[in-house]
Structure 1
Amino acid sequence: MPQTSQAAVVAPRAGKKPTRIHRAWFVAAVTFVTIIGAAAFRSLPGLLIDPLHQEFGWSRGTIGAAVSLNLALYGLTAPFAAALMDRFGIRRVVAVALLMIALGSGLTVWMTAAWQLLLCWGLLVGLGSGSMALAFAATVTNRWFTERRGLVTGILTAASASGQLIFLPVLSLMVENHNWRPAVVTVALAALAVVPFVWLLLRDHPADVGLNPYGAQEFVPKPAPVTGAARRAVAVLSKAARTGPFWLLAGTFAICGASTNGLVQTHFVPAAHDHGMPVPAAASLLAVIGVFDVVGTIASGWFTDRFDSRRLLAVYYALRGVSLLFLPMLLAPSIHPPMLFFIVFYGLDWVATVPPTVALCREHYGDDSAIVFGWVLASHQVGAAIVAVLGGVARDVFGTYDMVWYASGALCAAAALMALVIRRRPATPVPVAG
């Protein structure tokens, strides 16, 4: 059916009286739950480094390589997934991604060689989780909301931390008291449990249910499917890469990933264990980071709707860098007040960088901002992947993580300066798609 007649069929329904709560908030809620399900596996890497090392004799560098592949694919898949959502719809892409996570996680139960860890944990779960990365949240936000975008981005970003909060203490107890295998089976089942919610409740566009996007005064017809998803993702990258803001955003976000997913999420638990702290206690501290990350990220979304995103990023990175410089002095066999202060402080800043980064992508790149952010997120995960490997190698070589903490703090200081260099929004968005 031609697009004009399709719009004519759907548009009259837009006049119906809206419900008390706009459907966009229900879509956001389903997206939140979906990201939580995908986040379960992201809680595991730091918990499994020591058990896998003890059972199979694999070096921490080898295990870190699997984590690195997972983190890299998590980012590199995102822009292509955003383009696939434009072609096949959000619901189909996300459902397939959840099934890939369940398959990859479940198969690790039978692995006996390091290459199988790379295949299951690195490749399958990396591709699946990358298809539900923050580019998924950006796509939902751009389609369903014209107001409160910063707040919604903050809420959906916080879903990843909420997944860590929900699963991390339980998984750490499983690993400590039973084995690592029940933990990965739990993750596989969690991913499978979310699939029915996605298929039955998630909708691709407000036009599918005859509604305006939240805050919009006019009906927005559903765009025709965009073919050539891979070609479009590469074309968007090619043109965005010719602009300065893209490289500054990519560079700052690479440091963001290096200092969070790559370093703290992957290596904090084994680093604390090196100082005599029990694994469940260290995992509980990461879970507390998840609690305060929810608060910090939602607050950051609120700030992003009201303040200069560049200055927000500069403040976030500067504070993160200072906190990392103090961490080596705080690690001890038991939990003490200064360590709790670090955990709360770091939690508030964990992914507070996401809402202003998404906002800057939207300001500079318009309708293609979700794909551009997907590429920026790819840099985030590449940074995380590099540090996930280097952190393990540094521990193997030097017997301590101290040098990695200091280097990461210095990188955060550089990111703060880079954020301030990003130019202000041009009069009209820079076109990046042909």
Structure 2
Amino acid sequence: MRTDAPARPSTRRRRVHPAWWIAAVTFLALFGAAGFRGAPGALMVPLHDEFGWSMSAMSLAVGLNLVLYGLVAPFAAALMDRFGIRRVVSTALALVALGAIGSVFMTASWQLLVFWGLLIGGGTGSMALVLAATIADRWFVTKRGLVMGVLTAGQATGQLVILPPVASIAESIGWRPASLLIGGVALAVIPLAAWVLRDHPSNLRVLPYGAVPGTHVELNRTTGSAVRRALDGLRFAARHRAFWALAIAFAVCGATTNGLVGIHFIPSAHDHGMPQATAAGLLAAVGVFDIVGTVFSGWLTDRFDPRKLLAFYYTFRGVSLLLLPWLLSDVVHVSMIMFIVVYGLDWVATVPPTAALCRSIFQERGTIIFGWVFAAHQIGAAIAAFGAGVIRDAFGEYTYAWWAGAAVCVVAATLSILARPARTEASAVPADSPAV
């Protein structure tokens, strides 16, 4: 470790702290990555119409995508420590582009596992919420909860906002142009990420936002095996009950967002006679309200017990899923709009308090362990994505899938209370936080 001396940071007055520019580009990267990962949900119906592939087969590929999106995360966190943020993010975007562009040449359903699963899942997983946690921890001392909320909103909203244009292009022109658009956008983001992103505030001769000169300690870049560090973090966390409580609860979060609603809302609405573009537009509206809900959740996390927030969020979500089967129809009613508002506010409001608990309980290992908790999130999403497809094929509708999601939300609410931190975090950020 090294302690930054007060004389080291640049004395030139800055109107905006560089941390905010880093956060802004990270927001864009997370926004795009989540949109790329969620795009298959808008392409399932066109692929079924053209090739006759079953929902189960396509859901298996989406499930692999979701699993890798999560399992890559802790290793990506270690790789960022070892090789730097810019290299990891640029490589990840290249993998996404390769997967999206390569998918236009598919002729068999197993090829979905390669392009949707391995390439897009692995690439977007390297830019998942561990990137947000890394930026928040390295570049901010105050307002971490708020920053994590904003970055999380970008991660979740990208998946939902990108869906309408992708669905519209797939429906009007074809799914291949939609895939090419995704690949082109991923390639376009690489130069921006390489230009702006930096690994540590010391690279720009500044302290993290809110740090007091002479007191901040910055970790040196690691030189050991990234894989070993990630696995050591898992072994350490597995000995703590709090880790299992957070991991299982977050698995439920993934199951009831990315796995169920994110992937199967459009096909389910289509079953009720709603046009794909309309259903995709509703998911985009979820993204709009998600921005408000997640940012507000980050603000609340800086001030209140994260465990109580999580219990409330999961209960809120369970009630919404329980009512969903009665709300779906061929047109958009007021009741469906109410569901969209409620679910949007709660979409990933769980992330800031979960990340805060990981940081509080596991200290310097918090980012890597949050990566493993996020891996559980995506495993839950994968199980739900595949399971909902099987339920649809077996029963001809999604009703039992929505009710199962409501039931596991009760389990998540209970487990959240059991995730007790080792020490109590401050209930509020300092009143004299520096101005931007």
The answer on 1:120 being equivalent to 2:115 is yes
The answer on 1:136 being equivalent to 2:118 is no
Match of 1:431 in 2: none
List aligned pairs for 1:328-339, cutoff 5 A. Answer: 328-339=325-336
List aligned pairs for 1:95-106, cutoff 5 A. Answer: 95-106=90-101
**CA shift digits 1:379-399 (9 cap, x unpaired):** 000000001111111100110
CA contact (8 A) 1:205 1:222 kept: no
CA contact (8 A) 1:364 1:425 kept: yes
List aligned pairs for 1:193-212, cutoff 5 A. Answer: 193-212=188-207
TM-superposed deviation, 1:161: 3.0
CA contact (8 A) 1:97 1:128 kept: yes
**CA shift digits 1:56-109 (9 cap, x unpaired):** 111110000000000000000000000000000001000000000000111000
Match for 1:269 among 245, 266, 270?
266
- Counterpart CA distance in 2 for 1:104 and 1:373 is 26
TM-superposed deviation, 1:18: 4.3
Match for 1:295 among 286, 292, 297?
292
Match of 2:148 in 1: 153
The answer on 1:171 being equivalent to 2:177 is no
Match of 1:87 in 2: 82
CA contact (8 A) 1:207 1:220 kept: no
- Counterpart CA distance in 2 for 1:366 and 1:332 is 48
The number of equivalent residue pairs is: 423
Q: Percent identity?
A: 55
SS in 2 for 1:365: helix
Match of 2:257 in 1: 260
SS in 1 for 2:349: coil
- Counterpart CA distance in 1 for 2:106 and 2:383 is 24
- Counterpart CA distance in 1 for 2:6 and 2:25 is 25
Match for 2:356 among 335, 356, 359?
359
Matched to 2:28, the amino acid is: V
The answer on 1:238 being equivalent to 2:264 is no
List aligned pairs for 1:41-120, cutoff 5 A. Answer: 41-120=36-115
- Counterpart CA distance in 2 for 1:16 and 1:233 is 37
- Counterpart CA distance in 2 for 1:280 and 1:139 is 36
The answer on 1:315 being equivalent to 2:312 is yes
CA contact (8 A) 2:26 2:132 kept: yes
- Counterpart CA distance in 1 for 2:328 and 2:173 is 26
Pairwise CA RMSD: 1.5
- Length-normalised TM-score, structure 2: 0.94
CA contact (8 A) 2:39 2:159 kept: no
CA contact (8 A) 1:277 1:334 kept: yes
- Counterpart CA distance in 1 for 2:278 and 2:36 is 19
- Counterpart CA distance in 2 for 1:226 and 1:53 is 47
Unaligned runs of 5+ in 1: 429-434
TM-superposed deviation, 1:175: 1.2
The answer on 1:326 being equivalent to 2:323 is yes
CA contact (8 A) 2:359 2:366 kept: yes
Distance 1:15 1:202, change over 3 A: closer
Matched to 2:111, the amino acid is: Q
SS in 1 for 2:15: coil
The answer on 1:224 being equivalent to 2:217 is no
Distance 1:95 1:258, change over 3 A: same
- Length-normalised TM-score, structure 1: 0.95
SS in 2 for 1:214: coil
CA contact (8 A) 1:207 1:222 kept: no
- Counterpart CA distance in 2 for 1:131 and 1:229 is 13
CA contact (8 A) 2:70 2:376 kept: yes
- Counterpart CA distance in 2 for 1:232 and 1:405 is 38
TM-superposed deviation, 1:242: 0.1
TM-superposed deviation, 1:171: 1.0
TM-superposed deviation, 1:16: 1.5
Unaligned runs of 5+ in 2: 426-436
TM-superposed deviation, 1:162: 3.1
- Counterpart CA distance in 2 for 1:420 and 1:193 is 43
- Counterpart CA distance in 2 for 1:166 and 1:426 is 38
CA contact (8 A) 1:11 1:210 kept: no
Farther-moved stretch of structure 1 (182-191 vs 75-84): 182-191
Match of 2:342 in 1: 345
The answer on 1:306 being equivalent to 2:303 is yes
- Counterpart CA distance in 1 for 2:424 and 2:302 is 19
Match of 1:432 in 2: none
Matched to 2:143, the amino acid is: R
Matched to 1:234, the amino acid is: L
Match of 2:22 in 1: 27
**CA shift digits 1:350-383 (9 cap, x unpaired):** 0000000000000001111110000000000000
- Counterpart CA distance in 2 for 1:147 and 1:80 is 27
- Counterpart CA distance in 2 for 1:85 and 1:376 is 18
